[in-house]
Each structure stands twice: as C-alpha cells, then as structure tokens.
Chain A
Amino acid sequence: AQSVTQLGSHVSVSEGALVLLRCNYSSSVPPYLFWYVQYPNQGLQLLLKYTSAATLVKGINGFEAEFKKSETSFHLTKPSAHMSDAAEYFCAVSGGYQKVTFGTGTKLQVIP
C-alpha cells in the first residue's frame, strides 16, 4: 500500500519569503516521488520528481525537494516566492509498477 500526506491544505507566504510545502509518504517498496503544480483552470504539470538518483531534486521555476528516507518526507521548497507561484501543489508517490497516488493538495497563496 502507498499513500501521501500533505500537511496544510492552504499555505500563505509573503512575496520574497521562503516557500515550504510539506509531504510525507508511505510505501512498502522504494518509492518514486513527484510534485505537480496546478494553476487555476488548468491540468497538472510536473514540477520535479525523485527516481532514486540524487536525493536533492531540482525542478522548474526555482523549486527543489529533498528526499529523506529516515523521515519519509519529500518537502518542496523555494527560497523566494513570486506572485506567479500562486497555485495548488500536489505531492504524489508511486512504488514500482503501482499506480501513482496523489495527495490532497496544498493551495499556495502569495501575498504582495
């Protein structure tokens, strides 16, 4: 069985502040982990993914995430928030040939 838990359905940050979106996973096999972003009225698009190479993964738009096996976490960070980062972010997990399981999402609000 596999699952992801995203802590905080809504997160607000000031423009220029650090963005930290939390994700914890559960998987019975070594996981593949993903962060997807959804802008209003659009489909999801991949931000970054971990596939057992480097534990620190860099994605698009300045985002990165670190895989920590001991903490079963894959938190998403960005040093300085931009207004254009306002969106909903989904963490997802897949174990081998299992289908991808998505978290419930975190809506990021960026305050000017």
Chain B
Amino acid sequence: NAGVTQTPKFQVLKTGQSMTLQCAQDMNHNSMYWYRQDPGMGLRLIYYSASEGTTDKGEVPNGYNVSRLNKREFSLRLESAAPSQTSVYFCASSDGQGGQETQYFGPGTRLLVL
C-alpha cells in the first residue's frame, strides 16, 4: 500500500497563477483533509471531507477550493495564488470522523508563490 500520495512535491508559482494539488489514498478511508504548515503555527486545517461528495471549511479556507472526486481522491485548488499562500501543504486521511481516529499524512507539497 502506498498510503497517502501527493503531487507535485514542489511547485513555484507567480502571484495570480492557479494550480491544483492532488491527493490520493489507498486505505479506503472515508475522511480526507487538507492542512497547511507554516513555521511556528503548526498545522491548520483548510478543508475536509467527511465522505465522498461532501466537503466543509476548516480554519483557513479563504483563497482555496476543494473537490472530493471520489473516495480515493481529494484535490485542493488555488485559483489566484498569493505570496501568503507560500507554505507546505499536507493531505491526510482517516477512517471515520469520531475524533479518535489516527490521521495518515502524505509527504507534503512545498509551494512557493513569488
């Protein structure tokens, strides 16, 4: 099992450009998450999907959109990138949403917006 995979690993964008970060999991998990990690701020939840066909905003959703394409895939889109979106983005998945489930993380996408 590959677990959670993310593409690309690294990306440089110019302000105003758009891009989609891809995430896939092969553990048959219902719930998927997108986080951003910034120095000194830990991980902050951008969006999550409790099940196929549903998505909800997290703590920092502004400037992002998501799509739960199917049970395996959950993508994050930046429509018009801004320097404030320079960060490391992590996708995660878990089996359920009761709060006690372990989250499994991908290796991350490092995004630099110039």
Contacts and interface: CB of A to CB of B under 8 A. Distances in A.
Given A96-B98, A99-B48, A43 B43 contact: no
How would you classify the secondary structure of chain A's contact residues: helix, strand, loop or mixed?
loop
A51 B90 CA distance: 24
23 contacts: A32-B99, A32-B100, A34-B102, A41-B108, A42-B107, A42-B108, A44-B43, A44-B90, A45-B104, A45-B105, A46-B103, A49-B100, A49-B102, A90-B43, A94-B99, A95-B99, A96-B99, A98-B99, A102-B35, A102-B42, A103-B42, A104-B42, A105-B42
Interface of A: 9, 32, 34, 41-46, 49, 51, 90, 94-100, 102-105
B42 A97 contact: no
B91 to A, nearest CB: 8
Interface of B: 4, 33, 35, 40-45, 48, 58, 90, 92, 97-100, 102-108
A46 B101 CA distance: 10
B88 to A, nearest CB: 9
Contacts of A105: 42
A-B pairs, top 10 by smallest CB distance, nearest first, are A43-B105, A94-B99, A104-B42, A102-B43, A32-B100, A102-B42, A51-B100, A44-B105, A46-B102, A96-B99
